[in-house]
Amino acid sequence: ACGTTPEQRPTGLDFAPVAPNELDEVVVPEGYRQAVVIRWGDPLFPDAPEFDFDRQAAAAQARQFGFNCDFAALLPLDATGREQLLVTNHEYTSEQFMFRGYDEEDPTREQVEVAWAAHGLSVLLVEQDGDGRLTPRFSDRNRRITATTPFRLTGPAAGSDLLKTSADPTGTLVLGTLNNCAGGVTPWGTILSGEENFHQYFANAERLGDPRLARYGLTGAATDRKWERFDRRFDLAREPNEANRFGYVVELDPHDPGSTPVKHTALGRFKHECANVRVTRDGRVVAYSGDDERFEYIYKFISDRKLRRGDSRSARRHNTTLLDEGTLYVARFSGDSPAGEVGGSGATPSDGRFDGSGEWVPLASGDRSFVPGMTAEEVCVFTRLAADAVGATKMDRPEDIQTHPHTGVVYCALSNNVDRGEDGEEGATEPNPRVANKHGQVLELTDRGGDPLSLAFSWNLMLVCGDPASPDTYFAGYDKSRVSPISSPDNVAFDRHGNLWISSDSDGALNGYNDGLYAVPVSGGERGHLKAFLTVPRGAETCGPVIGERVVTVCVQHPGEVDGASADAPASHWPDGGDSPPRPSVVAVWRPGHRIGE
Ligand code: FEO
Ligand code: CA
Ligand code: CA
Ligand code: CA
């Protein structure tokens, strides 16, 4: 890093950036090695068959790694870190990439049941060698959660009439989790996972004519996947409340393979990208979560009760109830730049920064609602309507949110929003400063005094993404001739030095370049110096980054997902090569004899 003194040089980012490309491979910096850890269809149990693309069966898929891995976590089982649990979300299925000759008008029951089994989460034991390389192992910890695994509903709306169905008159027991996007690791060792675009699984909402459903995109008749033909619960005309049982933050204890995962209604129901927890000075916990859709909101939950330290069974049981009692808030932002300066071009305002202040507005706490005309149960189930009612700030697709491990500053990826400023839609605002926003921005939010219990905050944009040659981009004031281009930030993570790592999901929005994983210092003279650490194959998004001391892992989701492609005409042959159809997979990257970035 010429031009900076050694004192200013960031630790852990000593690698030459990967150049933008359109290759059908994972590209890593010189000196680094990479390998697939686990692919869609790989067996997780000794009794599971090897994957056979042309002979798939639901019973096999339920014992194999699922499709479209998104979030990933690595949980060390002891201080050495030699054995770790790799926990992965499987966001959605794309049947045209899963089955040759797939007829979307007439899927078979077996195909539909394969898709149910390919959703959910996987827990897999992996072994790490001294270099950082990860090898999957069969273990009694390994587990598959699918679209039919029982979940318990908890929190204020559990048992509500809004959640009762003919199969579950108690309104407390749901089969399955769907569209699990990003997630988080709790301080007590469990996994949180966000149910995101759940609307796409439910048919015939139009027959109910309920505006509360439409607010979640539940409209229309038949679904693309036609699951409603095979299980009546996916037909809202027959089970009008079933969709109310999806769209939550779910919690799984991967250390207890027999445990029943839960859905936390206290954190609200929306298209949860994720939830990430921070412990406050007084021992309570705060969870931040984004609602990933154009013009949606950022939320925060503050627990009533305190974390119990230690790893005892009773501490664990107590801690897994922390997200059931507390107060849910939504963010309202204001900008501080002179009126008229944030007009949609994205040019930096005269005060030099996109920044301002904001407040967390309460929505519900236990049985108490702060929203006129809505009960607390209604706030928990129709949270978007509650946030509308209190005038929350419409953001450009809030994706992952993480708190900086040293400073407590909260980082949120705002992925993009091509509808901003379009017909009848809200125009540019200081936190969302570009109309027709194709490339997104990264927000820094600081609760007052660095205290997550505070209901006031300041904020600023750290990155306004895109082609650095374009005047509407901003890289924290850093020399833009030296940064990597990035579009559509999605997941955020930190390494042990406090550098920010960002994965992208751009759908080729930036010159057709492949997506990647980027790293950037957030402080010091190199703040804003963003560098691409890896890129993923054609059509894939990069997700679930975990930045370890010796290994970086990413999920390569939907390789080959480009217009017109299918299993019969693949646009990618990664990772198996030849003329094989692509397979979503987890990849590990390491550098023998070195720590990451050193
Ligand atoms: Fe599934 Fe918000 O990305
Ligand atoms: Ca400003
Ligand atoms: Ca995402
Ligand atoms: Ca995304």
Q: DSSP letters along 349-395, please?
A: PTTSS-EEEEEEEEEEETTEE-STT--HHHHHHSHHHHHHHTTPPPE
Longest dimension (CA), the chain: 68
Instruction: State whether the beta carbon of 355 lies less than 6 angstroms from ligand 1.
Output: no
Instruction: State whether the beta carbon of 399 lies less than 6 angstroms from ligand 1.
Output: yes
Report pLDDT for 578. 97
| Distance of alpha carbon 111 from the chain centroid | 26
**Residue 276, exposed/middle/buried by CB under 10 A (0-12, 13-18, 19+)?**
buried
What is the distance in A from the centroid of ligand 3 to the CA of 384? 19
Contact 326, 304 (CB under 8 A): yes
Closest ligand 1 atom, residue 273 Cα: 2
Instruction: State whether the beta carbon of 251 lies less than 6 angstroms from ligand 1.
Output: no
DSSP H/E element including 87: strand 83-90
Total-model pTM: 0.97
CA atoms within 13 A on the CB side of 29: 18
Report pLDDT for 343. 73
Token pair of 588 as six digits: 């590990």
Within 8 A by CB and 6+ apart from 595, the residues are: 12, 549, 550
Instruction: State whether the beta carbon of 292 lies less than 6 angstroms from ligand 1.
Output: yes
Closest to 195 (Cα-Cα) out of 116, 298, 272, 299: 272
DSSP 246-291: -SSEEEE-TT-TTPPPEEEGGG--S-B---EEEE-TTSEEEEEEEB
What is the distance in A from the centroid of ligand 4 to the CA of 427? 22
Token pair of 68 as six digits: 């479209």
Q: Where are the beta strands (DSSP E) in 114-264?
A: 120-128, 134-137, 143-145, 150-154, 173-175, 180-185, 191-195, 249-252, 262-264
DSSP state at residue 474: E
Contact 435, 420 (CB under 8 A): yes
Instruction: State whether the beta carbon of 273 lies less than 6 angstroms from ligand 1.
Output: yes
Closest ligand 1 atom, residue 179 Cα: 1
Q: Which ligand is nearest to the CA of 196?
A: 1
Report pLDDT for 3. 42
pLDDT by residue for the chain (598 residues), tens digit each?
A: 344 444 467 899 999 999 999 999 999 999 999 999 999 999 999 999 999 999 999 999 999 999 999 999 999 999 999 999 999 999 999 999 999 999 999 999 999 999 999 999 999 999 999 999 999 999 999 999 999 999 999 999 999 999 999 999 999 999 999 999 999 999 999 999 999 999 999 999 999 999 999 999 999 999 999 999 999 999 999 999 999 999 999 999 999 999 999 999 999 999 999 999 999 999 999 999 999 999 999 999 999 999 999 888 899 999 999 999 999 999 999 999 887 788 777 778 888 899 999 999 999 999 999 999 999 999 999 999 999 999 999 999 999 999 999 999 999 999 999 999 999 999 999 999 999 999 999 999 999 999 999 999 999 999 999 999 999 999 999 999 999 999 999 999 999 999 999 999 999 999 999 999 999 999 999 999 999 999 999 999 999 999 999 999 999 999 999 999 999 999 999 999 999 999 999 999 999 999 999 9
β pairing state of 262-264 and 150-154: parallel
**246-249: long-range contacts, CB 8 A cutoff, minimum separation 24:** 246/174, 246/177, 246/178, 246/179, 246/195, 246/198, 246/201, 247/195, 247/198, 247/216, 247/271, 247/272, 248/153, 248/195, 248/272, 249/192, 249/193, 249/194, 249/195, 249/275, 249/287, 249/289, 249/323
> How far apart, in whole angstroms, are the C-alpha atoms of residue 303 and residue 288?
12
Closest to 275 (Cα-Cα) out of 364, 184, 403, 396: 184
Report pLDDT for 4. 45
> How far apart, in whole angstroms, are the C-alpha atoms of residue 90 and residue 121?
6
> How far apart, in whole angstroms, are the C-alpha atoms of residue 289 and residue 525?
30
Residue nearest to atom 1 of ligand 1 (CA): 181
Instruction: State whether the beta carbon of 400 lies less than 6 angstroms from ligand 1.
Output: no
Instruction: State whether the beta carbon of 447 lies less than 6 angstroms from ligand 1.
Output: no
Closest ligand 1 atom, residue 70 Cα: 1
> How far apart, in whole angstroms, are the C-alpha atoms of residue 247 and residue 231?
19
Q: Which ligand is nearest to the CA of 183?
A: 3
Instruction: State whether the beta carbon of 168 lies less than 6 angstroms from ligand 1.
Output: no
Report pLDDT for 5. 47
Residue nearest to atom 3 of ligand 1 (CA): 181
Q: Which ligand is nearest to the CA of 543?
A: 3
Residue 176, SS3 per DSSP:
coil
Instruction: State whether the beta carbon of 507 lies less than 6 angstroms from ligand 1.
Output: no
> How far apart, in whole angstroms, are the C-alpha atoms of residue 536 and residue 1?
25
Instruction: State whether the beta carbon of 181 lies less than 6 angstroms from ligand 1.
Output: yes
